[in-house]
Structure 1
Amino acid sequence: MIEAIKARRSIRHFLPTPHSKEQLEEIVRAGMAAPSAKNLQPWHFVVTEGKAKERVCAAMEVGIERERHFPMLPDTRHYLDGAFETLRVMREAAALILITSPIARPLSATMTLDQRVTEICTAQSVGAAIENMCLQATALGIGSLWICDSFFAQAELRAEAGGDSELYALLALGYAAEEPAARPRRTLSETAEWRTE
């Protein structure tokens, strides 16, 4: 697995080559195998291809355009151009997986401290599932892009996913049309510290 960890890249250019349903199932099963707080498995995956994927892209575009005029996230408007680039990637991808959580509270919810802790645990669990899927895709020779720009179209994509779960992210999948180099990482000494007392 360390090979997949080292080889994983965020892919932003995909070939038009489709992959099999069996490969997509392997990727989703990897997500399902992730650890989760209290074993709640707080995730739901909506796998889209073809016309269903086109509807997801259309919902993303509607959300970005709405965000231009009626922003839900006014302090991050400067990232909207990046969201349009993400939309281009989504359209190139062979499949898009919407990752939702049926137990998550809406973004606008006011929470008690206990509820906030639960949300943090849910986010960690869902993040572990997404990383597992990225690594399984890499092991299968499939490229992936973990997408968080989806928050600009949160309401529209949540409705497209079924409306009962809060959207956490999208995962774009497809055979890579690029071979990006590894991006620089901070050194071990900059990132971690050891304490013995």
Structure 2
Amino acid sequence: MIDFTAHPVLAALKARRSIRAFTDEPVSREEIETILEAGRWAPSGRNNQPWRFLVVQTGDPRKVALESCTQYDHLIRDCRACICVFLEKSKKYSDMKDYQGAGACIQNMLLAVHALGLGAVWIGQIVNEPEPVFKALGLDGGIYELMAVVAVGRPDETPSSRRLPLDTLCIEPF
């Protein structure tokens, strides 16, 4: 196998972690814009780019309202910014392809967060409660479909991770 540490992108893939503890330090507009730009460059089927973003920062009453929409309320409370990721329904052409594109978009943003020395966690459970989320954010659920909320901040932890051995993930040897 090629040495991951010899290639910046591969090294970032291996080093990135979900951060669930944040400091009180702010995240700058420039950093958020960079994260969104990374998401914008994700691949999508037919290059339809159906994702849409809403950034809700500390001090915005919608952030407090968003806390009540998930069992992970502490992540939303403690982060400095929530990046809410949606698909615009009128821009979709295939549920599966568009969901895959949203996942790629979110992964791009998580890698950008890591590259900037920030921390983030992908809150997926919140999609199970779309109606309260749309109400909290003042959005029309007829126009958008909620994909995730990414909680962003400056990390206040250094978590470790492990992965299953590659041979246990391959259906057959290659």
* Alignment match, 1:154: 130
Richer in helix (by share) = 1
> Letter of the aligned partner of 2:79 in structure 1?
A
Does residue 55 of structure 1 match 2:34?
no
- % identical aligned pairs: 32
With normalisation by structure 1, the TM-score equals 0.76
Residues 48-101 of structure 1: per-residue CA shift (max 9 Å, x gap): 11232x42342341x45xxxxxxxxxxxxxxxxxx2xx1101110010011001
How well do the aligned residues superpose, as a CA RMSD in angstroms? 2.2
Q: Aligned equivalents of 1:42 and 1:193: distance in 2?
A: 32
> Letter of the aligned partner of 1:153 in structure 2?
E
> Among residues 98, 104, 109, which one is paired with 2:84 in the alignment?
98
With normalisation by structure 2, the TM-score equals 0.85
Runs of 4+ in 1 over 4 A off after TM superposition: 193-196
CA contact (8 A) 2:123 2:151 kept: yes
> Letter of the aligned partner of 1:51 in structure 2?
G
Q: Aligned equivalents of 2:125 and 2:16: distance in 1?
A: 20
> Letter of the aligned partner of 1:192 in structure 2?
C
Q: Aligned equivalents of 1:22 and 1:59: distance in 2?
A: 24
> Letter of the aligned partner of 1:139 in structure 2?
A
Kindly tell me the number of residue pairs found equivalent between the two proteins: 163
* Alignment match, 1:140: 116
Offset at 1:161?
5.7
Unaligned runs of 5+ in 1: 65-82, 106-114
Offset at 1:193?
4.6
Greater relative CO, 1 or 2 (CA 8 Å, sep 6+): 1
SS of the residue 2:83 aligns to: strand
Change (3 A) 1:9 1:148: same
Offset at 1:4?
1.5
Unaligned runs of 5+ in 2: 1-8
* Alignment match, 1:186: 164
